[in-house]
Amino acid sequence: MTERSEGIEGTALTGRPSDEGGSPSDTEVDRSGSAGGGSGPRDAFDRRLLAPMILGSILNPVNSSIVSVALVPIGAAFGAPPSQTAWLVSALYLATSIGQPVVGRLIDLYGPRRLFLAGTTLVGVAGLVGVLAPNLGVLVVARVLLGFGTCAGYPAAMYLIRSEAERTGRGSPAGVLTVIAVSTQTIAVVGPTLGGLLIAVGGWRATLAVNIPLAAAGLIMGMWRLPRTPLPERTGQGRPMARLDLSGMVLFAATLVALLLFLMSPKAGHWYLPALAVAAAAGFAFRESRAAEPFIDLGVLGGNVPLLLTYLRALLAYVVSYSFLYGYTQWLEDGRGLSASQAGLALLPMFLTGIVVSSLTGRHKEIRGKLLVGAAGQVAACALLLPLHRGSAVWLLVAVAIVCGVPQGLNSLALQNSVYYQADPARIGSSAGLLRTFMYLGAMVSSAASGAFFSRRADTGGLHHLAWFMLAVGGVFLLITVLDRSLRRAGTDKDDLSPRSGVSQT
């Protein structure tokens, strides 16, 4: 493949919505190289797509990060301990874990525009429900709606990146992938700090209200800039909806629900929940092996060992990452005695470091080095939690945040790029959604761990127990990364295949 300059610099407005049928590369972007009377090179990435791609991708991270400083005020408002407010975290991630691959599959089949607009509408509805929530139960429902509403953004972005890469012949849009990764990290910077300021000005309900203008902006940009795609034509199987593996989706959801319920309350008396999860998983595997168009093609996925290891790394990495985001933040407020706004500021160095690291390393396609440094950085950051106590100096809190920011900047970008290179191009939407599923499973495990170690309050003893748990998980992540030989070729020029030529199965 001819090497081209990467990134989005110097690109022109080259695409426009198309009403023609065909494959994504034919329908998503006009090949004439013009938009609105303008002109530009046909091999340039369509920059008009960037704004909705970025906004859609950040809807979930902003709701993930902003709630981290709101958990303590919400608990105080409703008289709920950390073990109950943890449901605000887990409810969003349960909905998103189920919805991401489902919506990703719908995007693969029907294009991104319809799903993006439906999702952003649901985000606005969830924001309104949250603002009016009279109790913790209704607030959990609002977070579930938010989880489903934010499902379309990231798979739609990966779908559009892949289709633009195919149209332009650029099989390695490292610059665009970096923009998405840095955008999600930037909003993670804004999230806790903005959340603290909103709570100081309008109370914790303001952290839900922010979704209403974000949803409005998403609807405007989605309708204005996302390309139109026709519904699939009828085939011998009947209506297009018949192509959906609804039974597989239901069994997939049942597996995750049973697993989460057990993780949130891992007691011997709840033995039936993991049993249900195993039974549903077995049913799911049986169904997918016989479905004409499976929701998740387990045969193809099982033969792609590098992609499976990427999903496992995502699970482990985000157990640690979200334990910092939620567990450490609650300790800053409850154990260290900081206010919500002060806790948000204390997290700022972590996210700023992550942005700088992503920006500096994003254009380098090599993946293994990023993951090795990121895994080692997580182990070091976990170890720094052990000497913390109620009287710890501010400089030590800043040091913890900076060290944690290094893996924050490396891991998310490396995992995202791994999926881009390793996944089947025809299923990039569902593959990207499945990556988010494993990330959110990590978030649910971290939320369950925080609820277990902070049973009544986020004290220093609970933080130290959580830190040992995080060290164990981070150590496994580092070991798997060191032993994975397929990473030596992932993202290199040898492995940098055009979307038209298939996917490396090293």
Segment 212-270, tens digit of pLDDT: 999 999 999 988 888 887 766 554 444 544 467 888 889 988 998 898 788 777 777 88
Q: How confident is the model at residue 506 (pLDDT cuts 50, 70, 90)?
A: very low
Considering the domain architecture, whether residues 122 and 259 belong to the same structural domain is answered as: no
pLDDT of residue 299: 75
Question: Positive or negative CA dihedral for 22, 25, 29, 32?
Answer: negative
State how far the Cα of 282 lies from the Cα of 288, in Å rounded to an integer. Answer: 10
Segment 267-319, tens digit of pLDDT: 778 889 999 999 999 999 999 888 887 888 787 777 788 889 999 999 999 99
State how far the Cα of 453 lies from the Cα of 465, in Å rounded to an integer. Answer: 7
- pLDDT of residue 5 exceeding 70: no
Considering the domain architecture, whether residues 280 and 157 belong to the same structural domain is answered as: no
Half-sphere exposure of 270 (CA within 13 A, CB side): 13
Considering the domain architecture, whether residues 102 and 251 belong to the same structural domain is answered as: no
Kindly state whether residue 4 falls inside one of the protein's structural domains. Answer: no
Segment 177-191, tens digit of pLDDT: 777 777 777 776 677
Considering the domain architecture, whether residues 223 and 268 belong to the same structural domain is answered as: no
Kindly state whether residue 31 falls inside one of the protein's structural domains. Answer: no
Considering the domain architecture, whether residues 383 and 351 belong to the same structural domain is answered as: yes
DSSP 238: B
Phi and psi angles of residue 235, each rounded to the nearest 5 degrees, phi first: -125, -170
**Angle at 326 (CA atoms; ends 323, 331), nearest 5 degrees:** 100
Type of residue found at 288? E
State what percent of residues in the chain have pLDDT above 90.
26
Considering the domain architecture, whether residues 283 and 306 belong to the same structural domain is answered as: no
Q: What tokens were used for 494?
A: 């040898």
Give the Cβ contact number of residue 312 at 10 Å: 15
Which runs of consecutive H residues, i.e. helices, occur in 323-393? 329-334, 340-361, 368-385
CATH number at residue 129: 1.20.1250.20
Q: What tokens were used for 409?
A: 């900047």
- pLDDT of residue 208 exceeding 70: yes
Kindly state whether residue 39 falls inside one of the protein's structural domains. Answer: no
State how far the Cα of 49 lies from the Cα of 156, in Å rounded to an integer. Answer: 10
Considering the domain architecture, whether residues 279 and 328 belong to the same structural domain is answered as: no
Considering the domain architecture, whether residues 258 and 204 belong to the same structural domain is answered as: no
Kindly state whether residue 2 falls inside one of the protein's structural domains. Answer: no
Compute the chain's Rg from CA coordinates: 22
Segment 395-440, tens digit of pLDDT: 899 899 899 989 988 888 888 888 878 887 777 777 877 887 888 7
For residue 165, the enclosing domain spans 45-230+295-496
Q: Specify the number of domains making up the chain.
A: 2
Kindly state whether residue 21 falls inside one of the protein's structural domains. Answer: no
Half-sphere exposure of 372 (CA within 13 A, CB side): 10
- Mean of pLDDT over the chain: 79
Considering the domain architecture, whether residues 192 and 253 belong to the same structural domain is answered as: no
